[in-house]
């Protein structure tokens, strides 16, 4: 079974007609015809003069009809550059209420899409009350936010405000309507509609390859259209308002040629490697491809830079590869220059022609270069990936939809100009209270989501629709007034923990409402003044949580050589985070309080108070090991009885401190502090002090280096 397909590629400079025949899964090109516009009736892919464009279309059609008979239906494409992308935001007041289902999230997203539609309409100075000048063909979520902080999902999150950033894609209605008008004047009926970038991608990059991040650039006369694939889909579209005409103008300026002659010269050099031209002054010049590259290098660099910048902007980084189609892709050295700009190997940027299209045969002498990839793609995509209109009814009003993807109830609501957020039930009445001097609001419950029906049955915004479906949307029920007890409120109020004698205590507040202490079960009323108080000192904590703790503070007095000495307290001591503290010290979260039985004062405490030391001490090294030598420098007695520094004291004790005459330390004193294994030692030895021979009776000082050396046999 065969089927004949007629397609038109309506470009900025020309209209190309393609006649194909489909055989199951393969195609045969039967014929083609290309006619240039006589006036500038197209601008950046948009029809500006319907009558002029229709005349060229009709000329192409009639030329093909002379050989192949009547042509009534045609496949066409809307320019990918006509797609508009808008970034938008929508917010939802949560007031600490959690979102429990995906429907609420989708309603928030659709509200952002609705706002994007309004933004797009207003940017074109259109009536914002009628936002149907654009068809939404898809949107993507960029980021969710909770109280202005990025978050992965809003489900079961608690905060004040949830919001979402989206980027939505729209196709202006005027693009489609102008196509219809031109086709009608050319006595043609639109059979199928596609998008130009989709057309080229469908024949060059099959679905199985779209997991690869690849850029397709269609360099035409006035614009360079860009489409990107990745993750199994067409991920982005873009356009650079610069293409082959920029190169033609550079040739015209460089060689003083009229624009049409410069265009013909460019094509001749591309096809034959050189061209002989006569400039406006009558001088004849032979231009080679090498000369052309050198003379218009800056223009080629500029075009490549603009394309590379737009690819990076759309993709976030350089893609894995770039395919070039369109007549402008034959610009000398454009592939190498673009590869350099994208920091890709030269073999990752290539011009693709008809030989890259699978399952296609030629019954006509069609140039195999990149010029005819898009026209053939329009013919094939028009049959394999067409775009259709569907009509549905939203609250009784007919809505026409542009079916570029599987349409849902949510898409219909957006196209109908319905902001789903406005159909949510109003939140319940809030209560305003004062908590510790600051005003706060207790929200009522969140209003219920809108009630949506599809053909009389309950539905969600995600349900798929078909032409003729009936959709109804009604506002959800209002929420309940705020109601909470102090315990329910204070569940989220700050508490802190301290540790007393290694046991954890949770410090909770005491509640005072309108100057009256109330229990946690008290139901809060509007305008209540609630105060929360905490024990903030060690004393307050002990009084509330450890009231049986007894603290003593009894200073004691002793006498040393008849001089009064005041010693530390006896009884119990307070330690906070391993430091001595008092009952007035403030508490902080995770502080550790310990009550210790204080040690009884000893003689050493008295010596510390008076700045006395009990021993004369020097430090030396012996055989490279540190040794500390000491001898008493005082004698201690109490009531005539000898005592030492560890002797415990009682209040009013009298102790006597007598200074002793200390002898100098000598070498042999060291042997009282060190162990020397003499089991295997025989023969003579030498005592060394500070690298000099010494004797047992030599005086030693702090820091001396001592050793004993045995003579070898």
Q: Cβ atoms within 10 A of the Cβ of 525, count?
A: 10
Do residues 613 and 619 touch, judged by C-beta distance below 8 A?
A: no
| pLDDT, tens digit, 9 for 90 and up, residues 289-318 | 889 888 899 999 999 999 999 999 988 899
| pLDDT, tens digit, 9 for 90 and up, residues 125-159 | 444 444 456 766 666 677 889 988 888 888 888 88
pLDDT value of position 543: 80
Beta bridge partners of 272: none
Do residues 485 and 523 touch, judged by C-beta distance below 8 A?
A: yes
Residue 124 has pLDDT above 60, yes or no: no
Residue 406 has pLDDT above 90, yes or no: no
Is 568 exposed, middle or buried, given 0-12, 13-18 or 19+ CB atoms closer than 10 A? middle
Residue 117 has pLDDT above 70, yes or no: yes
Query: What kind and span of H or E run contains 374?
Result: helix 373-384
Residues in the chain: 713
Is 666 or 475 the better-scoring residue by pLDDT? 666
Is 688 or 2 the better-scoring residue by pLDDT? 688
Question: How much of the chain, in percent, has pLDDT values that exceed 90?
Answer: 18
| pLDDT, tens digit, 9 for 90 and up, residues 245-288 | 888 899 899 999 988 898 888 888 888 889 999 988 889 989 98
Instruction: Name the CATH superfamily for 387-483.
Output: Beta-grasp domain (3.10.20.30)
Residue 382 has pLDDT above 70, yes or no: no
- With cut-offs at 50, 70 and 90, classify the pLDDT of residue 193: confident
- With cut-offs at 50, 70 and 90, classify the pLDDT of residue 118: confident
pLDDT value of position 82: 63
Three-class SS state of 675: coil
Q: Which two tokens stand for residue 62?
A: 């009639």
Catalogue the E-assigned strands of 196-310.
Answer: 214-219, 224-230, 233-240, 274-278, 284-288
Query: Cα separation of 266 and 275, whole Å?
Result: 8
Characterise 623 by phi-psi region: left (phi > 0), alpha (psi -120 to 50), beta (else): left
Query: Cα separation of 187 and 203, whole Å?
Result: 28
Query: Which residues are CB-neighbours of 126 under 8 A, at least 6 positions away?
Result: 133
User: Domain locations in the chain?
Assistant: 387-483, 494-601, 611-713
Q: Cβ atoms within 10 A of the Cβ of 380, count?
A: 23
Query: Cα separation of 608 and 602, whole Å?
Result: 10
Q: Cβ atoms within 10 A of the Cβ of 552, count?
A: 11
CA nearest neighbour of 366 among 6, 4, 18: 18
Query: What kind and span of H or E run contains 232?
Result: none
Question: How much of the chain, in percent, has pLDDT values that exceed 70?
Answer: 90
What's the mean pLDDT in 321-325?
A: 92
Query: Cα separation of 466 and 408, whole Å?
Result: 9
What's the mean pLDDT in 198-218?
A: 82
| pLDDT, tens digit, 9 for 90 and up, residues 616-671 | 899 999 988 999 999 898 888 998 899 988 888 888 889 999 888 888 889 898 88
| pLDDT, tens digit, 9 for 90 and up, residues 259-268 | 889 888 888 8
CA nearest neighbour of 90 among 474, 313, 414: 414
Beta bridge partners of 529: 434
Work out the mean pLDDT of the chain and round it to a whole number.
Answer: 83
- With cut-offs at 50, 70 and 90, classify the pLDDT of residue 319: very high
Compute the chain's Rg from CA coordinates: 46
Do residues 94 and 160 touch, judged by C-beta distance below 8 A?
A: yes
């Amino acid at each position: 079974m065969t089927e004949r397909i007629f397609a038109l590629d309506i470009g900025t400079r020309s209209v190309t007609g393609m006649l194909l025949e489909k055989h199951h899964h393969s195609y045969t090109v039967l014929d083609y015809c290309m006619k240039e516009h006589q006036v500038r009736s197209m601008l950046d892919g948009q029809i500006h003069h319907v009558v002029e464009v229709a005349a060229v279309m009709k000329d192409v059609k009639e030329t093909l009809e002379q050989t192949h008979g009547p042509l009534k239906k045609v496949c066409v494409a809307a320019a990918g550059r006509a797609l508009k992308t808008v970034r938008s935001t929508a917010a939802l007041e949560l007031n600490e209420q959690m979102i429990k289902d995906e429907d609420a999230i989708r309603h928030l997203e659709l509200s952002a899409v609705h706002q994007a539609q309004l933004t797009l309409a207003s940017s074109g100075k259109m009536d914002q009350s009628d936002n149907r000048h654009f068809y939404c063909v898809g949107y993507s979520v960029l980021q969710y936010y909770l109280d202005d902080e990025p978050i992965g999902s809003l489900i079961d999150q608690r905060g004040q405000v949830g919001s979402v950033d989206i980027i939505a894609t729209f196709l202006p209605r005027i693009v489609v309507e102008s196509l219809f008008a031109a086709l009608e004047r050319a006595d043609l009926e639109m059979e199928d509609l596609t998008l130009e970038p989709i057309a080229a991608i469908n024949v060059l990059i099959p679905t199985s390859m779209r997991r690869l991040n690849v850029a397709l650039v269609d360099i035409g006369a006035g614009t360079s259209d860009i489409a990107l694939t990745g993750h199994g889909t067409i991920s982005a579209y873009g356009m650079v308002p610069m293409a082959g005409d920029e190169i033609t103008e550079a040739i015209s300026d460089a060689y003083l040629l009229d624009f049409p002659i410069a265009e013909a010269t460019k094509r001749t050099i591309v096809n034959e490697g050189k061209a002989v031209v006569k400039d406006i002054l009558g001088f004849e010049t032979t231009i080679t491809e090498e000369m052309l590259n050198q003379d218009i290098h800056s223009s080629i660099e500029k075009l490549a830079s603009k394309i590379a910048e737009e690819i990076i902007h759309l993709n976030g980084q350089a893609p894995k590869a770039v395919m070039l189609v369109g007549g402008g892709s034959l610009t000398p050295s454009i592939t190498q220059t673009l590869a350099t700009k994208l920091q890709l190997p030269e073999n990752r940027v290539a011009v693709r022609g008809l030989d890259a299209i699978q399952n296609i045969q030629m019954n006509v002498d069609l140039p195999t270069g990149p010029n005819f990839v898009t026209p053939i793609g329009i013919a094939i995509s028009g049959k394999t990936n067409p775009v259709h209109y569907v009509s549905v009814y939203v609250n009784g009003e007919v809505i026409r939809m542009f079916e570029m993807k599987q349409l849902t109830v949510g898409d219909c609501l957006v196209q109908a100009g319905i902001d789903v957020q406005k159909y949510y039930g109003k939140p319940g009445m809030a209560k305003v209270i004062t908590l510790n001097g600051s005003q706060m609001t207790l929200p009522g419950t969140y209003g219920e989501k809108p009630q949506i029906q599809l053909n009389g049955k309950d539905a969600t915004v995600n349900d798929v629709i078909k032409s003729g479906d009936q959709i109804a949307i009604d506002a959800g029920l209002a929420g309940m007034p705020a109601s909470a007890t102090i315990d329910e409120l204070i569940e989220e109020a700050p508490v802190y923990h301290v540790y007393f004698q290694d046991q954890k205590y949770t410090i909770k507040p005491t509640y005072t409402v309108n100057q009256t202490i109330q229990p946690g079960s008290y139901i809060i009323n509007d305008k209540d003044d609630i105060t929360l108080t905490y024990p903030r000192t060690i004393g307050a904590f002990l009084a509330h949580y450890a009231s049986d703790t007894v603290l003593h503070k009894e200073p004691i007095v002793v006498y040393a050589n008849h001089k009064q000495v005041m010693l530390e307290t006896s009884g119990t001591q307070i330690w906070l985070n391993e430091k001595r503290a008092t009952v007035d010290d403030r508490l902080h979260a995770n502080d550790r309080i310990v009550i210790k039985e204080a040690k009884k004062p000893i003689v050493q405490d008295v010596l510390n108070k008076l700045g006395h030391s009990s021993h004369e001490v020097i430090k030396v090294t012996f055989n490279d090991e540190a040794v500390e030598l000491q001898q008493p420098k005082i004698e201690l007695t109490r009531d005539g009885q000898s005592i030492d520094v560890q002797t415990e004291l009682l209040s009013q004790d009298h102790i006597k401190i007598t200074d002793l005459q200390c002898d100098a330390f000598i070498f042999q004193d060291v042997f009282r502090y060190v162990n020397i294994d003499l089991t295997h030692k025989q023969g003579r030895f030498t005592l060394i002090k500070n690298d000099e021979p010494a004797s047992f009776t030599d005086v030693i000082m702090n820091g001396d280096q001592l050793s004993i050396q045995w003579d070898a046999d």
